[in-house]
Amino acid sequence: MHYHFDFSFLYSSVGTLLDGLRVTLELAIAANVMGVVLGFLLCLIVMSRWAIVRWPAQLFIEFFRCTPALLQIVWFFYCIPMMVNVFVDPIVMGVLALGLNLTAFNAEAYRAGVQAVPKEHLDACVALGLKRRQRTLFVVLPQALRSAMPVLMTNGIGTLQQSALVAIVAVADLMYVGKSLATEAYRPLETFTIVALIYFALSFPIARLVHIIERRQDAAMQR
């Protein structure tokens, strides 16, 4: 069987693909902002000395880490509106589902970073009379963020790729637009090849940056 690739039909659909790409970027960026901020807050809760506070947070993390992201997205889109009887914009719901999933994974990355903070630094904070909030914001957070940065960025790439799952609930992201174009033109090979290359072009530079950061951290630790 000889298949002849023909990408010419996509020239008239560039605007549609760009619209889908815009939705994908909105989902990925908003979910990453949510995951980075809430992930650190959740990390602090999980590391609390109070079990009544710590256990629900740990359960939250385990739920999102141990259930498929696709199932979480479907549950958010169909179950929450049924429970609260309120319609929520699909983009907002997608950000919520992806962001909470990322929050759970980032919390574990932050926890590893917090545990890597030298005890001497915390002792110095006590000696200087810093309050708990000051110690967390100005000593623990910067060091934990630096240590966890490669993992946070890798998780961010994963969220960008997982954003394609919202296509199953008819959110007009890049994947959904690509699937529609492939169906209309009967050219799935060309369409999904272009879509895959777009995702690759977005993810590859970040992956290389993660590699550079990891090498610099390894070099710093060997000094």
pLDDT band at residue 220 using 50, 70 and 90 as cut-offs: low
Q: Give the C-alpha separation, 118 to 191, whole Å.
A: 51
Q: ∠ CA(89), CA(64), CA(205), 5° rounding?
A: 80
**Residue 18: domain span:** 13-222
Q: What is the pLDDT of residue 27?
A: 95
DSSP 24: H
Contacts of 167 (CB under 8 A, 6+ apart): 173, 175, 176, 179
pLDDT tens for each residue of 138-187: 888 888 888 889 999 999 999 999 999 999 988 889 999 999 998 888 88
Instruction: Indicate which CATH number applies to the domain containing 45.
Output: 1.10.3720.10
**Is 148 a domain residue?**
yes
Q: What is the pLDDT of residue 185?
A: 83
pLDDT band at residue 68 using 50, 70 and 90 as cut-offs: very high
- Across the chain, what does the average pLDDT equal? 88
Could you give phi then psi for residue 30, rounded to 5 degrees? -65, -40
Quote the pTM value.
Answer: 0.89
**Is 157 a domain residue?**
yes
**Is 1 a domain residue?**
no
Domain total in the chain: 1
Contacts of 104 (CB under 8 A, 6+ apart): 39, 42, 60, 61, 63, 64, 65
Q: Give the C-alpha separation, 104 to 147, whole Å.
A: 17
pLDDT tens for each residue of 108-147: 999 988 888 878 887 787 787 878 888 888 888 888 888 8
**Is 136 a domain residue?**
yes
**Is 7 a domain residue?**
no
**Is 8 a domain residue?**
no
